[in-house]
Amino acid sequence: MSVHDTAEPSRRDFLYIATGAAGAVGAAAAVWPFIDQMNPDAGTLALAAIEVNVSSVAPGQSITAKWRGKPVFIRQRTPEEIEQAKSVPLADLKDPVARNQNLPADAQATDANRSAPGKEQWLVMVGVCTHLGCIPLGQQGPYNGWFCPCHGSSYDTAGRIRQGPAPENMAVPPFEFISDTTVRVG
């Protein structure tokens, strides 16, 4: 064993470690703005949940609220519209899946699985056509539901795709009635 073999770190070892640590901190500081810009902006976070007063919506009427930058259709359906939606056999549906975020992903697209639990007259859905993201027109088309004039997709009174190029039913966002007149979306 020579005089120069020691277990003690040398000054050179310390400088290597300090330089590496400073480089790592500098790289992290340089990369952080790129990572941080991927977070949702404050406006999106503020709209993570909205509360909508539906007391003035009469049967047969709907309102549109904005949630996470998308329109949400809230409709109080008439008894005739409910019966029309209930009478559709599942085999006639283009998309047999409910697309309701409040239910399991494989729930069937029955009228009950598309409407508000215990308040079947209420329909809450993201008002975006599932074909190319257009905004369908309400109480239009051959099924008296929603019609997207851009490419001809028709939805029934439960927001289920019935004809046209749209591949899926309109999505039902997470929602709940927090009172008889207020629905929380998100």
- Residue 84 CA to chain centroid, in angstroms? 26
Q: Is 151 a catalytic residue?
A: yes
Q: Which two tokens stand for residue 164?
A: 């046209």
Catalytic residue from among 26, 101, 151, 182: 151
The C-alpha atoms of residue 22 and residue 16 are separated, in whole angstroms, by: 10
The C-alpha atoms of residue 169 and residue 9 are separated, in whole angstroms, by: 67
- Residue 15 CA to chain centroid, in angstroms? 52
Q: Which ranges constitute the DSSP H helices of 50-151?
A: 79-86, 111-114
179: CB partners within 8 A, 6+ apart: none
Cite the active site residues: 151
